[in-house]
């Protein structure tokens, strides 16, 4: 039986060469700046980036910290990361191949643990968040960036169905409440929260994952029907100059030191 790790490795081996496409939101400078400027970075900070992919966030953070360990389970993603880090002269960035559920690090080894757009690819996000919390020091910060499902349960099901049609390694995007609960359960309640809508062009989003033509048609038709007043997809489509796009909500949830009181 195919495991979730197998699905992730298969999907991201195909996607790795396309991660540098400037038309994608993954490397959009304003989105990386939003995250980096929100984080407690400093010259002595030891950071860990979990599910780092080709290292967009790792590479953006590296100039501001002592070191970054960039963990991913897919060889092809780490190969791209190494090449990009070398091009950028980032000698404080260390790629590490590992499963996010079994991080090869000691308890409390890092000042800052990050995970950007990885949560919705995990079969057991609670276990992965708990593992991230294990390796961040008590006085450190755990920061998770991920896309959110709609709060309405039925709409969330439709939304995640379309996401999986596009990328079978997608498990389920959590809601805002669920993300807070995951961090609470790991002993790291959210201390700082921000969210923003991110507009994605539909064609590059589907091209990256090489979505099969039949699934592509189904997604396009559902978005077009919604624009014509049909049932909502949860994707909030729009059309600009004859081109379809849609909105995702990305949240940035930070849990600070364990003795710091949480706030909304």
Question: 21 pLDDT band (50/70/90 cuts)?
Answer: confident
Q: Report yes or no on 215 lying in a domain.
A: no
Q: Which two tokens stand for residue 71?
A: 């963990």
Q: Report yes or no on 164 lying in a domain.
A: no
The DSSP secondary-structure symbol of 120 reads G
Instruction: Provide the pLDDT for residue 259.
Output: 56
pLDDT over 80 at 237, yes or no:
yes
Taking residues 88-105, what's their average pLDDT?
97
Torsion of CA 160, 162, 167, 171, to 10 degrees: 10
Matching residue, tokens 């059309």: 239
pLDDT over 60 at 4, yes or no:
yes
Instruction: Provide the pLDDT for residue 11.
Output: 87
Question: 261 pLDDT band (50/70/90 cuts)?
Answer: very low
Instruction: Provide the pLDDT for residue 264.
Output: 43
Q: Which two tokens stand for residue 114?
A: 């990050």
Beta strands in 66-177 (DSSP E): 67-72, 93-97, 110-116, 136-147
Taking residues 230-240, what's their average pLDDT?
96
Taking residues 30-50, what's their average pLDDT?
97
- Per-residue pLDDT of 176-198, as tens digits, reads 999 999 999 999 999 999 999 99
Q: How many domains does the chain have?
A: 1
Question: Which of 10-19, 29-38, 133-142, 224-233 is predicted least confidently?
Answer: 10-19
The continuous run of DSSP H or E covering 127 comes out as helix 125-135
Q: Report yes or no on 239 lying in a domain.
A: no
Taking residues 90-115, what's their average pLDDT?
97
pLDDT over 70 at 252, yes or no:
yes
CATH at 124: 3.40.50.150
Q: Report yes or no on 26 lying in a domain.
A: yes
Q: Which of 258, 226, 255, 261 is nearest to 38 (CA)?
A: 255
Matching residue, tokens 């796009």: 245
pLDDT over 70 at 27, yes or no:
yes
The pTM of the full predicted model, rounded to 2 decimals, is 0.93
Q: Report yes or no on 73 lying in a domain.
A: yes
Q: Report yes or no on 117 lying in a domain.
A: yes
The whole domain housing 43 covers 4-148+169-197+250-255
Q: Report yes or no on 216 lying in a domain.
A: no
Q: Report yes or no on 245 lying in a domain.
A: no
Matching residue, tokens 């390694």: 169
- Per-residue pLDDT of 72-88, as tens digits, reads 999 999 999 999 999 99
If you average pLDDT over each of 19-23, 26-30, 136-140, which comes out highest? 136-140
């Amino acid at each position: 039986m195919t495991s979730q790790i197998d699905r992730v490795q298969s999907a991201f081996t195909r996607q790795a060469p396309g991660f540098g496409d400037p038309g994608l939101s993954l490397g959009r400078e304003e989105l990386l700046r939003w995250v980096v400027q929100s984080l407690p970075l400093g010259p002595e900070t030891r950071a860990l980036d979990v599910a780092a992919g080709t290292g967009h966030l790792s590479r953006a953070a590296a100039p501001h910290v002592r070191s970054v360990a960039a963990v991913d389970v897919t060889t092809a993603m780490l190969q791209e990361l190494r090449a990009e880090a070398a091009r950028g002269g980032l000698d404080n960035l260390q790629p590490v191949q590992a499963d996010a559920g079994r991080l090869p690090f000691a308890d409390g080894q890092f000042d800052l643990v990050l995970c950007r757009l990885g949560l919705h690819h995990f079969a057991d996000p609670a276990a992965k968040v708990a593992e991230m919390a294990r390796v961040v020091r008590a006085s450190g910060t755990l920061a998770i960036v991920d896309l959110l499902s709609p709060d309405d349960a039925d709409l969330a099901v439709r939304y995640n169905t379309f996401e999986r049609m596009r990328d079978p390694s997608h498990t389920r995007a959590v809601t805002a409440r669920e993300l807070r609960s995951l961090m609470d359960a790991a002993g790291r309640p959210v201390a700082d929260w921000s969210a923003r809508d991110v507009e994605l062009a539909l064609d590059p989003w589907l091209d990256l994952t090489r979505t099969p033509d039949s699934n592509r048609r189904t997604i396009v038709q559902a978005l077009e029907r919604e624009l014509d007043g049909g049932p909502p997809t949860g994707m909030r489509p729009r059309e600009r100059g004859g081109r379809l796009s849609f909105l995702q909500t990305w949240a940035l949830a930070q849990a600070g030191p364990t003795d710091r009181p949480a706030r909304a």
